Amino acid sequence: MTKNHLSIVFFSCFLAFLSFSCEKKEETNESSKPTQSYQKVSIDEIEQGIKAFIAEKQAENEGFFPVKDENHDLKMKLVRVHTEYLSNLGPTSHFACVDLVDESGDVYDVDFFMEGEPGSMGVTSTTVHKLNGKPFYSWKQNKEDKTWYRLPLEESNNSLLGVVEGRDEFEFYYTAQLPQLEGPAKMWIPIAESDPFQEIVLVSKEVPTGTKEIKDGNYGNTLLFFELGPENSGEEISLTYRVKRKEKGPYEAAMPDPKLYLASTKLMPTGGRFEEIAKEEIGDKINDSHLVQARVLYDYIIDNMKYAKVGDYGKGDSNYACDSKTGNCTEFHSFFISLARSVGIPARFAIGASIPSDRNEGGIDGYHCWAEFYADGKWWPVDISEGNKYTALATYYFGRHPANRIELSRGRDLVLNPGPEAGAINFLAYPYLEIDGKEVKVNSKFSFRRGESES
């Protein structure tokens, strides 16, 4: 093989890798690999080289890593180096995709290109490839001369896989049908409330007489409390909300109460094997920031759990999630919270509903839950089950919740007064009906409509 031929092979490998950059790598055709042997730089060397480069630049720039290209002038901090995407492109050429976060909390994928021998690599250029998981460009091959070039993405800000960005407006309908009641019963329903990310108007409510509002003392949730009897059998309870919601990103907040956000709950224990797993996964990043560590735990759950509504799912049981590696959104986020809290990262649980993005009215497939963790003076939203289902959006869901959802309540082990005889409520989206000290399921439905609400 001639030197020129070898260079062409290496260049082809380089361009082929760029064609999907930070996307998942398919198995490589062995015939496309360069056959010339050379001293490869190890993955660890590339990662350490990039980290050292970032650290050096941060020291020179008041703790921030500057990223400049034709469209960006950013001050960034490291979230992680994508070790799964590191690549040797030739004897002295290397590529890596790196997640960096700017001062506002936006997460950027930055393409790093490096040159040099083992132990003496230098970063030759950096280019911003993605913002919150959305690409600014892609790579395309010229059919005539087989060269590759960057292709701008004119539609890069469109909705992706169920995500409504920016803002959304809709009416949300919450209905519950009471079963036949033979005696006294009690019931609790969460009330959606306004916060900096959702503007809520309770347009109408149809509830039994004597209904009253109560608060939970720990998380500030407002609930409707019902004392019911046989005369309420078969009644339909209906709540109609008008919602204006904006996309949720990292937001500044005071240090959270460790008694709430580092503590064990009944189904979200901390310590023990959760601490062992978290520390094992974090490894030598144990001295890195909570932001870096949280991303490790986020990736661990995405990589090791399967979204499946089988078995004893839906309770948000961290032990079940750890054992079965399956579950719905409650298991994904409970497992994450147990891991995070076990290594000192405050984390919390919230539940509501995800509004479909591909239609403007109709039913909603039940509740949806998510989590937030606290790092660098901010709460960071995550949606790990959605990131697991749609791997193209895994970066988006680390630090973002889309606009098309409504939050109904926050927290676990809700202590209420008056409360159920059975004790604290695990979490609350659907009505909690108690008869003779036991929970009884209520036939509940969520639906929505866009475009018909008053402005």
CATH of the domain at 392: 3.10.620.30
pLDDT, tens only, 258-300: 999 999 999 999 999 999 999 999 999 999 999 999 999 999 9
Report which secondary-structure segment, H or E, holds 50: helix 43-60
**Comparison of pLDDT for 137 and 127, the residue scoring more:** 127
Domain shared by 342 and 381, yes or no: yes
Burial class (CB in 10 A: 0-12, 13-18, 19+), 276: exposed
- The last residue of one of the domains, among 97, 132, 152, is 152
Whether residue 20 is found in the same domain as residue 140 = yes
Q: Cis peptide before 420, with omega less than 30 degrees from 0?
A: no
Q: What is the pLDDT of residue 5?
A: 37
Number of independent structural domains in the chain: 2
* Shared domain check, 214 and 69: no
Task: Give the model confidence (pLDDT) of 297-350 as tens digits.
Answer: 999 999 999 998 888 999 999 999 999 999 999 999 999 999 999 999 999 999
- Report residue 49: phi and psi, to 5°: -65, -40
> Which helix (H) or strand (E) is 261 found in, with range?
helix 258-261
The neighbouring-strand residues paired with 279 are none
Report the relative pairing of strands 326-327 and 306-307 from DSSP bridges.
parallel
Neighbours of 272 (CB within 10 A): 12
Domain-terminating residue out of 152, 178, 195: 152
- Asked whether the beta carbons of 367 and 429 are under 8 A apart, the reply is yes
Q: Which of 102, 120, 152 represents a domain boundary (last residue)?
A: 152
Domain identity same for 198 and 238 = yes
Average pLDDT over residues 84-93: 62
Helix 290-304 and helix 329-342: axis angle, to 10°? 140
**Claim to verify: residue 104 and residue 145 sit in the same structural domain:** yes
The pTM (predicted TM-score) of the whole model is 0.78
> Do 205 and 349 belong to one domain?
yes
Q: What does the alpha-carbon distance between residue 410 and residue 350 come to, in Å, rounded to a whole number?
A: 4
Range of the domain at 248: 159-455
As a whole number of angstroms, the distance between CA 235 and CA 249 comes to: 40
Same domain, 49 and 183: no
Neighbours of 221 (CB within 10 A): 23
Percent of the chain at pLDDT exceeding 70: 80
Residues 247 and 380 placed together within one structural domain of the fold: yes
| pLDDT of the residue at 91 | 67
For residue 249, how many other CB atoms are within 10 A of its CB?
Answer: 18
Give residue 149's pLDDT. 53
